[in-house]
């Protein structure tokens, strides 16, 4: 069975703009969805046991290595089984939530998801990345160059794993809450509306491409 793998990492639950935009994508998605909410059920950060298990014969595993390897196997098989991906990764302090970085570190394994000398087994599969942020980080803004979420994930998901990454970026989410950003409220509302519309459109596009 093929499915959309939806990885959530926002800690805000239903109040999360990233999750709300992701829901617009899911509302238009036609097909099975496997959802992993890293805020609700965290994936452990990569440990020494998890790293050394990758280089050790399973017959020689310590109990700690066996447990770490079993968890990695579950996450990797779930990742490899998907035909498309939806990543909900807001900006926290200029970068991604640590919960999402922990998940990445567990699933990026040489000769399983990462092929240094050739194509990754998931190369070419579509991935939609939704990343909301409280301010604006585009060209010409005071924060230009300080977005360490989208460029990093486009490199990791796209260059290392070979996914075809498309980003949706709802901006200025603090405008309704921070008086200093009140003059930017109209830009915020425009950004949110555009993000929801783009998410719906991408769901249609990716669904159609998978069916072709």
- Give the separation between CA 99 and CA 36, rounded to whole angstroms: 11
The 3-state DSSP class for residue 183 equals: helix
Domain CATH code at residue 130: 3.40.50.360
- Give the separation between CA 165 and CA 96, rounded to whole angstroms: 16
The 3-state DSSP class for residue 99 equals: helix
Max intra-chain CA distance, the chain: 63
| Number of domains making up the chain | 1
Question: pLDDT higher for 47 or 13?
Answer: 47
Strands (DSSP E) found in the chain:
4-8, 33-37, 84-88, 126-130, 164-168
- Give the separation between CA 62 and CA 55, rounded to whole angstroms: 13
Contact in structure between 87 and 154 (CB atoms under 8 Å): no
- Could you give the angle at the alpha carbon of 11 between the alpha carbons of 201 and 104, nearest 5°? 75
- Give the separation between CA 155 and CA 74, rounded to whole angstroms: 24
Per-residue pLDDT tens digits for 87-114: 999 999 999 999 999 999 999 999 899 9
Per-residue pLDDT tens digits for 133-183: 999 998 888 899 999 999 999 999 999 999 999 999 999 999 998 898 898
Q: Please give the pLDDT value at position 151.
A: 96
Residue with tokens 């519309």: 197
Q: Is the pLDDT of residue 185 over 60?
A: yes
Q: Please give the pLDDT value at position 119.
A: 84
Domain interval for residue 92: 4-211
**DSSP β-bridge partners for residue 33:** 4
Kindly report the backbone phi and psi dihedral angles of residue 188, in degrees, each rounded to the nearest multiple of 5, phi listed first: -60, -50
Mean pLDDT of 29-37: 95
Q: Please give the pLDDT value at position 212.
A: 57
């Amino acid at each position: 069975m093929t499915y959309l793998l939806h990885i959530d990492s926002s800690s805000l639950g239903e109040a999360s703009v990233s999750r709300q935009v992701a829901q617009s994508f899911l509302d238009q998605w036609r097909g099975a969805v496997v959802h992993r909410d890293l805020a609700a059920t965290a994936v452990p950060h990569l440990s020494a046991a998890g790293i050394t298990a990758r280089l050790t014969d399973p017959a020689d595993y310590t109990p700690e290595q066996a447990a770490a390897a079993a968890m990695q196997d579950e996450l990797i098989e779930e990742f490899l089984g998907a035909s498309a991906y939806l990543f909900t990764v807001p900006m926290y302090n200029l970068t991604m939530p640590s919960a999402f970085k922990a998940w990445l570190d567990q699933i990026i394994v040489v000769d399983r998801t990462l092929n240094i000398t050739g194509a990754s087994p998931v190369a070419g599969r579509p991935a939609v990345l939704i990343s909301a942020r409280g301010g604006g980080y585009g060209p010409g803004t005071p924060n230009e160059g300080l977005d360490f979420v989208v460029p990093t994930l486009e490199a990791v998901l796209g260059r290392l794993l070979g996914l075809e990454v498309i980003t949706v970026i709802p901006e200025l989410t603090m405008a309704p809450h921070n008086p200093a950003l009140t003059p930017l409220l109209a830009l915020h509302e425009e950004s949110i509306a555009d993000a929801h519309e783009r998410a719906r459109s991408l769901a249609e596009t990716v669904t159609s491409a998978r069916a072709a």
